[in-house]
A = this chain, B = another copy of it.
Amino acid sequence: MPEEIASLPTADLTLAIEAGDQSAINALAQEVHYADLAQIYQDTEEEKHGLILKSIGPEIASDVIVQLPDSMIEEALDHFSPSELKVLFRELTDDDRVDVLQDVGDEARQRYLGLLGPEDEELTRSLLRYEEDTAGGRMTTQFGRLFASMTVKEAIETLRRDQEITETLSRIFVVDSKGHLIGRVRLRDLAFNSWNTPIREIMKEVGPEQRALATTDQEEAANLLLKYDLIVLPVVDEFDHLLGIITHDDAMEILQEESTEDMEKLAGIAGETVEETYLQASVLTHFKRRFVWLFFLALLAIASGYVMMRFEGTLMKIFLLSLYLPMVVAAGGNTGGQASTMVIRAMSLGELTEGTSIRVIWKEFRLGMILGCTLGCSIAALTIFVLPAFQPELPSGVTFTRFGLTVAIALAAQITTSTVIGALLPLGARAIRLDPAVVAAPAITTVVDVSGMIIYFTIAQAILGL
């Protein structure tokens, strides 16, 4: 609904771009939010990118460029002269500047670093040392920092002086004389207290759990913001010196990215989540991410075919077995996929610490038994009471009751096995420091296809005496 109301300036901007009207583009760009501007930029054909960037100028462009997919950033920066780039980089907050520099080639990165002032260059180089997906790699150093020994008056003066360079004053952190993080104050605490109150008296302590080490994984850090309802999370080094903060909007982005990544991995889509939207990404990009698993799984599926061929004799004797073959096999894939999804999601929500693996497997084992027995009994009942009405042929000595029993036991065994495998694989992956989500549901499906064939035919041989 809000988008309908907003459609006018963005629609005008699109028209101005079509018409190549630089001054109209510039005027309209002031009215449109940078997130929408970035969207329009991406939806415009590449030949017009230079026109857009030149028209809006380096200051507005700096807001737009940080919103672009990684792969489009270097091309966008190429449209600017060195002097324009100086302006552009000065406009960026330090964490955005680092993000941008992480997304360009080495040569370009060095060239851009040379355009920064000496202070900014030093700061940026120090931030670039952190891995891109850690708390340090995502933090900003532009925030309100006060000493506990200051008065409210000194604090307000400090913040007033720094306000241009601070990204948020929603939370202001308090350090001791050595720079250790000890507390936080809110701007309202300063505004509503008398000027000679010491900061130490009005600050709230920051608990040891409400901070992240710079080397912490970004998802873990974002989960802390979520758990403790924080607007900003302070980032410290191993000696508890306050280094920077991660803001709520970055945390939200991190969590969304990680969710997308988990979902894609679960569906057997390889590689990093691309920042292009679904429609922007080329067919080739999609192809590359999907083919790897598809190919690997196809080879793996030959194992199922091989097992089936080995049981040719059994199948020949009672071809009615094929009626339930896809069901037994698929039921394993379905329960295995359910189990792995539940376990992987619980892990990424931080619910399953390493010590809980045994409890998880015990839970899935019981679940598998109950699911398998319930489904097995239902299908057995169907086989015994409904199937005879269709008058299929059974070889002498084989009854519908025995046939139903075969299916029931096979389903129970297959589902129990698959459920446990579905939980075991991601837990095992984590134990050897792999991303649990990489054990995609399709992989589990293919693995339990093989076990399903073996279980089904072996039980049939035993019970039906084939």
Q: Which residues of A contact B (CB under 8 A)?
A: 1-3, 5-6, 33, 35-36, 156, 159-160, 163, 169-170, 186-188, 190-192, 207-213, 216, 224-231, 248-249, 251-253, 255-256, 259-260, 262-264, 266-269, 277-279, 283, 286-287, 290-291, 293-295, 297-298, 301-302, 304-306, 308-309, 312, 316, 319-320, 322-327, 329-331, 333-335, 337-338, 340-343, 345-346, 349, 351-352, 356, 359-360, 363, 366-367, 370-371, 374-375, 378-379, 411, 415, 441-442, 445-446, 449, 453
- A226 and B210 form a contact (CB under 8 A): no
Most chain-B Cβ atoms within 10 A of its Cβ — which of A2, A169, A333, A346? A2
* Interchain nearest-CB distance for A401 vs B (Å): 19
One complex includes copies of this chain to the number of 2
Given contacts A188-B169, A316-B316, A367-B287, contact A35 B228 (CB under 8 A): yes
Nearest-CB residue, chain B, relative to A311: B322
Given contacts A290-B371, A294-B335, 17 further A-B contacts (CB under 8 A): A2-B209, A2-B210, A5-B208, A6-B207, A169-B187, A170-B170, A230-B249, A262-B263, A277-B349, A278-B352, A283-B363, A283-B370, A287-B374, A291-B374, A298-B327, A298-B379, A301-B327
- A325 and B346 form a contact (CB under 8 A): no
- A301 and B320 form a contact (CB under 8 A): no
- B269 and A342 form a contact (CB under 8 A): yes
Q: A298 to chain B: which residues have CB within 8 Å?
A: 327, 330-331, 375, 378-379, 411
Nearest-CB residue, chain B, relative to A362: B283
- B333 and A442 form a contact (CB under 8 A): yes
- B360 and A279 form a contact (CB under 8 A): yes
4 A-B pairs closest in CB distance: A6-B209, A278-B346, A304-B326, A267-B341
Selected A-B contacts with CB under 8 Å, 19 pairs: A5-B208, A33-B209, A170-B231, A187-B191, A190-B191, A226-B253, A267-B342, A278-B352, A278-B360, A290-B371, A293-B338, A294-B335, A297-B330, A298-B375, A298-B378, A301-B330, A308-B322, A309-B320, A337-B442
